[in-house]
Structure 1
Amino acid sequence: MKILLLIGDITIGGGAERVVINLANALFELKYDVKIFSFYKQGQDIAYELNENIKIDYLYHKSKTDVKKEKPLYKLYYKHYESYILKQKYKDIDVMIFNNCPHFPFFKNKNTKYINFIHMSFKKYRKRNNYFDALVILSNKQIEQWKKYHKNVWVIPNFLSCKSLQNANLCNKNILSVGRMALEDQKGFLRLIDIWKMVQKKEVYKDWTLTIVGDGELKKTIEQKIKAYELENSVILKPFTKEIEKEYLQASIYAMTSLYEGFPMVLVEVSSYGVPLVSFDINTGPSDIIENKKSGFLIEDGNFQEFADKICLLMDNENLRKQMGQNAKEKIQNEFSKEIIMQKWIKLINS
């Protein structure tokens, strides 16, 4: 069976791109004939490890921004043009899985199954999901919402691609947060700095550090806020790294302050190293992964003081960190293993 995974730009190196590569590798291991199609190419190469036998096709060898600049009528014309190209070029594909990109199969091949794997909630495109044979969403919280727009909705969360053989020792006085520093601050790093300022008011926590790993257009603004709050000695900014395991192993607490998420894969990954979690309880994502007061803390969205208090509680109590971290690891192993999740994909593909 031939499967084509489609995404906006596989070279960006974000969470959705990692999920696509993990899914491609897993399908290939199950003997499917897999290929990736990327509409754009902003970077020179992909950020994550892809099986060398899996080919990537690019429609444009440039960024989406550059394509739009060159083609003034892009929105009116090229979406349909792209769909037509896909129909003509991939007539022998059995299943197309669209990932996190506002492209739709306006033109379709009769023998191809079209699946939309929704990583985020693209509200303005909801009605266009009728072009697909099935929708895949990441959270049970979303299912009633999406059933209003499609009769064939599947809940398939992302899986943990590699089982961790190590645990963080949870003795390092370091709190970690990871993500792209996008201009709209989707990861909420600016409010994380506000929370850290509250924590650092207490002398007892002066020897703790907050490490933020990521790159993006917002980085300079984040740096300016750190300087304005005089937190330069306790906040460490590190660039994106492929060796993220090293950062997980150095963390004693993971903090997530995102404004919104589809399915925060980073919480699954860091949990596998036995790190306790603190996150705002936004609409979807964290509550699927964190068991409140068992594997971490879910905080009312926007309650900075409560977030700071729970971080302090974990900083004060190493035994609590270890117990919550162990609970987090066990939940991930039981619910988000590759074997369990891929059974769901196989069932959908063969349905």
Structure 2
Amino acid sequence: MSKKRATMKDVAARAGVGFKTVSRVINEEAGVSEQTAAKVRTAASELNYRRDMTAGNLRRAAGRTDSIGLLVASVDNEFDAKLHRAVENAAQERRVSVFSSSTDEDADREHQRALTLLARRVDGLVLMPSSGDLAYLQHELDLGTPVIAVDRPPKGICIDTLMVDNESGARDALTHLIEHGHRRVAVLAHLATLVTSAQRIAGARAAWSAAGLPADSLQVVDGVSTDEDTARSLDALLDGADPPTAVFAARNEIAVGAVRALQRRAQQHEIALIGFDDFGHADLLDPAVTVVRQDPARLGELATQRLFARLEDRSLPVEQLTVKTRLVRRRSCGCEA
């Protein structure tokens, strides 16, 4: 059974003050001593009270606001943007609005943005977890607010999760490069603290090990975020004593940076390249870029459908769903596509 959400009346009773005093503290108005304000804040924290930003608005009879929240890593990332649009489309079919924000892979920002959305009393939340602990959302789950994790598994809570098979996709990419005869390969990855990056690195290493190749001939560089990071990493690798003959860029933005870096060095036809996740105009480049294609739109659609299903039936068992990837062969890997 869902717990009851704490109100300002509950906070007032616990702090031993009047309702108006609590209102002034919550709304940061003057006229309350610091000692009394501290009592109110302590009581609010103990009750997990959160300001209701929709208190002055009308709601549906079922207590819903016809809105959901969406947190992605960055709305300017192509993968996140496609997922975002799919969530919007699925919500629109039910005449539900979507409030969204970016976490920038920052746990503190994620925490703050999630609580802001929940203060608006969204009916549910779809989020792409950062590496932070999400235990602070347990109170909302206990109150009956559904939370769905997409693209990455959550830490600290047990909720429905939809992910791509990152390890298998990376394994396919490295196996393909090995089949083309490459025995020195560089893997450029984002943050190894993120499960997606860790899984892709693991998949690459699994393929390398399965082929019986020496571990030190697979060079893994993580912490790559910007074009500058990618260029710096590739320059160091390619100018080294044993440069790689192929690169696996384990994120779409890293693949774009790798294309630019190889073009700058005039080595785009010498160094093989496979990227994880397709990106705009990848098929129009020279050479066209081979990619491990994900389906962010499908992830967004399934996540939103699951959220609405859980709104209708909160007793549904927790699900973990994995969506397969597909290796799209073009010419950057050495194929004559």
Range of TM-score over shorter length: 0.3 to 0.5
TM-score, normalised to structure 1's length?
A: 0.36
- Computing the radius of gyration from Cα coordinates, the structure with the larger value is 2
TM-score, normalised to structure 2's length?
A: 0.37
